[in-house]
């Protein structure tokens, strides 16, 4: 079983030192940088705008995996792509035309992802799977870091993997929320190949990032 991609969420980083944090994650062996964008409307928090993404872009060549918890989402796609996003991931609930939104992301030259909240049905994938480069399963309800993993997500990972495999899709299957070394192995065994982690990576400060990332890969 291949080691999963580890995508540290900078939501859990030291916001006063974001550039240094991104460089430290790169040096520690992170695969992608996960950027949680929250608008205070779609979710109850406000985080990172496109100007911050643009400011961080020179600090690493790692892919920027930008999770847009924003509604309406369509007006923001170009701004985040121009700022340096490599992957733009959207919620079906954040706009009226998911198929169009995913197509637009690809037109902009980014990889397109769809996010499914704990209460969102996998049936959403049926008519967009051919446009998806990434399926992100939320293992917490979005809006805040530091939440506990919802165990029933493991069954959802299994079902999502079956859908992707049946469609012949090469899309990554990512899990986000409460991911730790204690449950990372179960997520991968269920079919995930990319893990978003916040506290589990950032605990202990920059000197611990490499060990934390390796613990997740080896779980």
Active site members: 36, 176
Q: Which residues contact 126 (CB under 8 A, 6 or more apart)?
A: none
CA distance 161 to 35: 24
β 111-116/134-138 pair status: parallel
The helix or strand, by DSSP H or E, that contains position 20, with its residue range, turns out to be helix 18-28
CA distance 115 to 119: 11
3-state secondary structure of 197: strand
């Amino acid at each position: 079983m291949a080691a999963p991609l580890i995508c540290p969420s900078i939501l859990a980083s030291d916001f006063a030192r974001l550039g240094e944090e991104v460089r430290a994650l790169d040096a520690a062996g992170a695969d992608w940088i996960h950027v949680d964008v929250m608008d205070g409307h779609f979710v109850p928090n406000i985080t990172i705008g496109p100007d911050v993404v643009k400011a961080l872009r020179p600090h690493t060549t790692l892919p920027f995996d930008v999770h847009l918890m924003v509604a309406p989402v369509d007006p923001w796609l170009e701004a985040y792509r121009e700022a340096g996003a490599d992957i733009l991931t959207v919620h079906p609930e954040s706009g009226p035309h998911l198929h169009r939104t995913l197509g637009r992301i690809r037109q902009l030259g980014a990889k397109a992802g769809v996010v499914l909240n704990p209460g969102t049905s996998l049936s959403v994938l049926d008519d967009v799977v051919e446009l998806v480069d990434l399926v992100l399963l939320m293992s917490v309800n979005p809006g805040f870091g530091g939440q506990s993993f919802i165990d029933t997500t493991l069954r959802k990972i299994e079902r999502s993997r079956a859908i992707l495999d049946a469609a012949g899709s090469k899309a990554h299957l990512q899990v986000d929320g409460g991911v730790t070394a204690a449950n990372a192995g179960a997520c991968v065994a269920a079919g995930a190949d990319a893990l978003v982690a916040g506290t589990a990576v950032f605990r202990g400060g920059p000197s611990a990032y490499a060990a934390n990332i390796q613990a997740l890969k080896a779980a």
